[in-house]
Amino acid sequence: MNGPRRLVVLGVCSSVALYKACEVLRGFQKAGCDVQVVMTPNAAKLVSPRLFSALSGRRAAVDLFDEEEASRIGHIRLAREAELLVVAPATANIIAKFAAGLADDFLSTLHLTVTCPLLIAPAMNEAMYLHPQTQENIRRLKSRGADFVEPESGSLACGDEGWGRLASVEAIVQAGLRRIGAERRLAGKTVLVTAGPTREKLDPARFLSNPSSGRMGYALAAEALRRGARTILISGPAGLLPPPGAEIVRIESAQEMRSEVLARFGEVDAVLMAAAVSDFRFSETRREKARKEELPETVRLVRNPDILSELGRLKTRQVLVGFAAETGNVEDGARRKLREKNCDLVAANDVSQSGIGFESEDNELVLVEPEGDATRTGRASKVELSRLVIDRLEVLIGRRG
């Protein structure tokens, strides 16, 4: 691995599989990473933190309130420097705490502070692992973007046979390194993402809009940032916190979005048009709020500019990704959009299905490119889907050199 050494934080919980954490630590070190161990207080009852301090060359952190630890390590500083938080072994307890957002020890507090990827390697007996609550906690964390190295089936330390044995050290280290490697593949590239709805005003109190939540676009921007891209997020009113590090440009109308996108188009490597841009605006707008009696019986709408088509005509080296909200045959609609707008990739979803798409945490996409078969993602959170879209984007940007 070239460049400065990467910092991996290794969370260690009180599982019998804890002894394997020493090998996990070694695996990351061999790959050129620095490793900072954070143990739960219960793990420190099973094994002395000194073992991990000696192996890592850094004092293992256990106690959030230890003054010396706070001044030397400090969870906030650690969160800034960490490139990966890997918890191996992860107990049912820590998975539940992460899922619920508890922060009552160093490791769970750190989890809420980090922005780096999270990799969890569970180890527990089969009953705990298969318990519906544990499975729900795992699903919840996955939907927020955490990676899991699934446990294996075999003989467990408690004497039982079954699911729940910590995955192999090699699988854990490889998954972690893959996740770190993925982080920088967009370094040096500029990605522009549009997100959210637009608002087309009739007057200061009345507007035309749509139910876009902005979640898909914000998740895409966060993923592009994680992979090292300079990321510009042009957002309609979405009510979401922009991912830290994104250059955020807030707009209201389609016309504002158009001018902000065009102003930057020459400097970007890719545009992901995830915003739901209103097709129409009012032919006239008023600066002052009109009284109801002043309003005409009917109002006239005019077509808004089609930003994606315009980018399709203007593009030179830029990769253009369109999003399509379809009903009926989703793939046909996506292919039509791909052709008509001169896109390199279209991600389409079926807006007639409930529980996905607009205003929802989840989505289900059909990805089409000019060549090759369509990819159907299956239902997943927008955070998980953003990874699949950015994976494709990386390939498309890579082809342009």
Ligand X SMILES: Cc1cc2nc3c(=O)[nH]c(=O)nc-3n(C[C@H](O)[C@H](O)[C@H](O)COP(=O)(O)O)c2cc1C
Quickly tell me which residue has 């009917």 as its tokens.
298
Which CB sits closer to ligand X, 8 or 13?
A: 13
123 binds ligand X (CB under 6 A): yes
Q: Could you give the CA distance from residue 284 to residue 148 in angstroms, rounded to a whole number? A: 53
Residues that are catalytic: 158
Between residues 13 and 141, which has the closer beta carbon with respect to ligand X? 13
Q: Which stretch binds ligand X (CB under 6 A): 38-46, 74-82, 144-152, 291-299?
A: 38-46
Closest distance to ligand X from the beta carbon of 331 (Å): 43
Find, among 263, 127, 270, 250, the residue nearest to 197 by Cα. Answer: 250
Interaction between residue 128 and ligand X (CB under 6 A): yes
- Interacting positions 72-101 with ligand X (CB under 6 A): 91-94
- Residues forming beta bridges with residue 246, ordered by sequence position: none
Q: How far is the CB of 47 from ligand X (least distance, A)?
A: 10
User: In this chain, which of 19, 31, 42, 210 binds ligand X, going by CB under 6 A?
Assistant: 42
Q: For residue 180, what are the β-bridge partners?
A: none
Chain position whose Cβ is nearest to ligand X: 15
- Using CB under 6 A as the binding rule, whether residue 380 contacts ligand X is answered as no
- The residue within the footprint of ligand X, chosen from 6, 15, 86, 194 (CB under 6 A), is 15
Strand-pair partners of 235: 195, 250
Binding part of the chain for ligand X, among 19-27, 35-43, 178-186, 208-216 by CB under 6 A, reads 35-43
Identify which of residues 120 and 366 has a Cβ nearer to ligand X in the complex: 120
- In the range 187-206, which residues lie near ligand X by CB under 6 A? none
Smallest separation (angstroms) from ligand X to the CB of 128: 5
* 13 contacts ligand X (rule: CB under 6 A): yes
Rule CB under 6 A: say whether 40 interacts with ligand X.
yes
How many residues touch ligand X under the rule CB under 6 A: the total is 15
Considering beta carbons, is residue 25 or 385 the nearer one to ligand X?
25
Q: Identify which of residues 125 and 213 has a Cβ nearer to ligand X in the complex.
A: 125
Listed ranges 40-48, 194-202, 326-334, 357-365: which one lies at the site for ligand X (CB under 6 A): 40-48
How far apart CA 36 and CA 84 sit, in angstroms, is: 11
**Rg from Cα positions in the chain:** 24
Beta bridge partners of 162: 154
CB of 15 to ligand X, least distance (A): 3
Q: How far is residue 247's CA from residue 262's CA, in Å, rounded to a whole number?
A: 16
Looking at the Cβ atoms of 161 and 340, the one nearer to ligand X is 161
**Residue 282 β-bridge partners:** 301
Residue ranges that bind ligand X, judged by CB under 6 A: 13-17, 40, 42-43, 91-94, 123-124, 128
